[in-house]
Chains A and B, each alone.
Chain A
Amino acid sequence: MRRAPALLVAGIAIVAAWGLVALAAPFLATHDPIAINFEALLQPPGDANYFGTDNTGRDVFSRVVYGTRYALYIGLLGVLAPMAIGMTIGLVAGYFGGWVDALAMRLVDVAVPFPFFVLVLAIVAVLGPGIENYFIALALVGWIGYARLARAEALVLRQSEFVLAARTMGFSHPYILARHVLPNALSPVVVYMMTDITLVILFGAALGFLGMGAPPPTPEWGIMIAEGSFYISTAWWIAFFPGLAMVMIGVGFALIGDGLARWLRLRA
C-alpha cells in the first residue's frame, strides 16, 4: 500500500483538531457563550476577550469554540440520511437495471433542475425553521449525488466476475448487493461524502445566516455572522472569526476528500 499523501494527512489532522475543540469546548471557552455582559459591549480582540465581544457583550471566542459543536453535528449527521437513501436507490437501480433503474433515473431527472439550496430553503419554509427540518430537507434532496455515484458503480459491478460467480453459486440478490456490490462501490461515495460534509456545514450556516436555522442565541457560526453583519464596519471581529473557523473546518474535510480521491486513483 502506498503511503498516504501529505494533504490527506493534513486534512485528517485539521478535522481531528476541530473534533478535539468540540469535545473540550467547556475547558477551552473562557466565558459562558450565551452570557450577556452590558459592561463589555463591542470590545475589540484583546487579553480579556481573545476574539472581542459582540453587541450584547458575549465573548466571541467562547461562542466560536462552542459553535464547533454545531458545525460538526450538522455536517456529520446531515450527510447520513442522504448517503443511506442515495446509496440504496443507486445500488438497487444500477444492479437490477430495467424499470427500477428507469424509475429512479426519472426521479433524479426531476430533482436536478432545482438549485439544491433553493429546494432546501423551500422545504424549510414549509416545515418551519430549525436544524431538524434542515436534516429532513437534506434527506429529501441530498441523496441525488450519492444515488448517481452508487448507480454508476453498480452498473459496472453487476457485470464483474465475482458478482456473476456469486449468482451461479446461488446467493440471493440482497446478499450479493450487501456483501459484494456495496463494499466495492463505497470508495467514490466516501470521497463525495467529504465534499458533501463541507457543503452541508456551509448551507447549514447559510440557513442560520438567513434566519432559518437554529434559533438565536445559539452559538452557531451562521447566526454569529448574521449578527456581526450589522456591525461589520465598526466591529469586524464578530463576523470575521466564525467565518474563519468555518473556512478551516471546511478545508479540513475538502482536503480529506481531495486526498482520498487521489490516493484511490493512484492505487487503482
Chain B
Amino acid sequence: MPLLRLILARLVQALPVLLGVSLVTFVLMAASPGDPVRLLVGDRATPEIIAVIRERYGLDEPILTRYLVYLKNLLQGDMGASLRYRVPVTELIASHYPVTLFLVLYTIVLSLPPVVALAVVSARNQGGLADQAIRLLGVLGLAVPVFWLALLLSRFFGVTLKWFPVSGFGDTPLEHLHHLFLPALSTAIWVVPILVRNLRAALLDEMGRDYVTTGLSKGLGRRAVFRAHVFPNSLLPTVNLFGIIVAYLLGGSVIVESVYAVPGMGKLMVESILARDYYVVQGATLVFALTTILVMLATDLIAARLDPRVSA
C-alpha cells in the first residue's frame, strides 16, 4: 500500500507547482500586446460576436476572475483557439505532441548506450588518458550550437550521402525512425555530455564506499564488485536527473525540429511565435511544463521503488 500513498502524496505536493505553472502561462498571455479577441476573430467580426467571445473568456472581468476562468477552461480542456488555423489549440497540440514525444524517446534510446559506456570507461580510468579525452569531448559537446550541428549533419548525411531524409516525419513507425534519426542524433550529442558527467560522478562516489573495500577484501574481483554493486547503486542519481533531462530535450526539440522541419511541438511553438498566435504559444508552453512535471513524478516513484530509503 505505501506505493499508492506515495503517489497520492506526490500528487498533492505537485498541486502548488501546477497552479504556479498555470499562473506563469496566464501572465505570459495577459502581458501580450494587442487584443486577443481582435486577433482571434479578425477585423470584420460584428460587435455581438466579439462580446460573446469576451464573455466566454471573461476578458472584461478583473484579472483574478480572468485567471479563474482560464483555470476553469483549462480543466475542461479548452486552451483557446489558434488564430492562424482557426482550430482549437488542443487539437493542434494533439497532432503535434506525439511527434515530439517520439523524438524525445528516440533521443533517450540513442543516448543511453554511449552514456553508460563513456561514464564507465571514464570512472574506471579516473585521471587517465581516456578520462581526459572524454572530459574534453564533454566540453566540446557543451559548446557546439545544436542548430549548426544539425545543419551540418543534414548536409553531410542527408544531401551528400543521401542516407537519411533531411526533413519531415514519415508515415509508418519505421519511416519515423528513419526520418528522425538525424534530429535525435543532434539532440543526443547535446545531452550525452551532461549525463556522462553525472553518471561518472555517481560511479566515483560509489567506488569510494566501504562495501567496495569489503568486496575486494573478501576476494571478489574489481570487475565483479563494479558490476554487482557499484553500477546499480550509481543509477539512482541519474534516474533522478531524468525530469531535468526531459525538460532539456523538450527545449532542444524547439531548435532541432525547426532545422529538420519535423512537425512537432517545437516547430509549432516557433511558428506560432513568429505568427503571433498567442494561444498556441501559451498552450504549448503549458504542455511542455506539464510533461516535465509528469516525468518528474514518474522518476520520483521509480526512485522510491529502487531505493526504499526514498519516501514521501
Kindly state the separation between the CA atoms of A118 and B292 in the bound complex, as whole angstroms: 12
Kindly state the separation between the CA atoms of A185 and B151 in the bound complex, as whole angstroms: 40
Are A251 and B250 within 8 A (Cβ)? no
Are B139 and A251 within 8 A (Cβ)? yes
A contacts with B, residue count (CB < 8 A): 51
Are B270 and A210 within 8 A (Cβ)? yes
Q: Which residues of B contact A124 (CB under 8 A)?
A: 273
Are A233 and B155 within 8 A (Cβ)? yes
Residue of A with least CB distance to B259: A229
Q: 18 A-B pairs, CB-CB below 8 angstroms?
A: A107-B20, A109-B17, A110-B16, A110-B24, A116-B251, A118-B254, A121-B254, A121-B270, A121-B273, A125-B32, A125-B276, A125-B281, A126-B31, A205-B145, A222-B147, A228-B151, A229-B259, A247-B143
Least CB distance, B117 to chain A, in whole angstroms: 21
Least CB distance, A267 to chain B, in whole angstroms: 17
Are B145 and A198 within 8 A (Cβ)? no
Are A246 and B247 within 8 A (Cβ)? no
Are A225 and B247 within 8 A (Cβ)? no
Residue of A with least CB distance to B147: A209
The contact string, 1 if C-beta is below 8 Å from chain B, for chain A 251-266, is: 1011100100000000
The contact string, 1 if C-beta is below 8 Å from chain A, for chain B 202-218, is: 00000000000000000
Instruction: Determine whether B135 belongs to the interface, using a CB cutoff of 8 Å to chain A.
Output: yes
Kindly state the separation between the CA atoms of A248 and B296 in the bound complex, as whole angstroms: 34
Instruction: Name A191-215 residues within 8 Å CB distance of B.
Output: 195, 198-199, 202, 205-206, 209-212
Are B21 and A110 within 8 A (Cβ)? yes
Kindly state the separation between the CA atoms of A199 and B24 in the bound complex, as whole angstroms: 23
Q: Which residues of A contact B119 (CB under 8 A)?
A: none
Q: Which residues of A contact B145 (CB under 8 A)?
A: 202, 205-206, 222, 225, 243, 246-247, 250
Residues in chain B within 8 A of chain A (CB atoms): 16-17, 20-21, 23-24, 28, 31-33, 135, 139-140, 142-149, 151-152, 154-155, 159, 243-244, 247-248, 250-252, 254-255, 258-259, 269-270, 273-274, 276, 278, 281-282, 284-285, 288-290, 292-293, 296
Within 8 Å by CB of B32, from A119, A126, A202, lies A126
Given contacts A110-B16, A115-B288, A118-B285, 17 further A-B contacts (CB under 8 A): A110-B21, A110-B24, A111-B24, A115-B292, A117-B255, A118-B288, A125-B32, A205-B145, A232-B155, A232-B159, A239-B148, A242-B148, A247-B140, A247-B143, A250-B143, A254-B143, A258-B139
Are A119 and B285 within 8 A (Cβ)? yes
Instruction: Name A105-153 residues within 8 Å CB distance of B.
Output: 106-107, 109-119, 121-126, 128
Q: Which residues of A contact B254 (CB under 8 A)?
A: 115, 117-118, 121
Q: Which residues of B contact A229 (CB under 8 A)?
A: 151, 259
Least CB distance, A88 to chain B, in whole angstroms: 21
The contact string, 1 if C-beta is below 8 Å from chain B, for chain A 76-118, is: 0000000000000000000000000000001101111111111
Are A110 and B17 within 8 A (Cβ)? yes
Q: Which residues of A contact B20 (CB under 8 A)?
A: 106-107, 109-110
Kindly state the separation between the CA atoms of A240 and B147 in the bound complex, as whole angstroms: 11
Kindly state the separation between the CA atoms of A242 and B145 in the bound complex, as whole angstroms: 10
A258 touching B151 in the complex, CB below 8 Å, given contacts A114-B247, A247-B140, A251-B140 = no
Are A233 and B159 within 8 A (Cβ)? yes
A240 touching B152 in the complex, CB below 8 Å, given contacts A119-B285, A212-B273 = yes
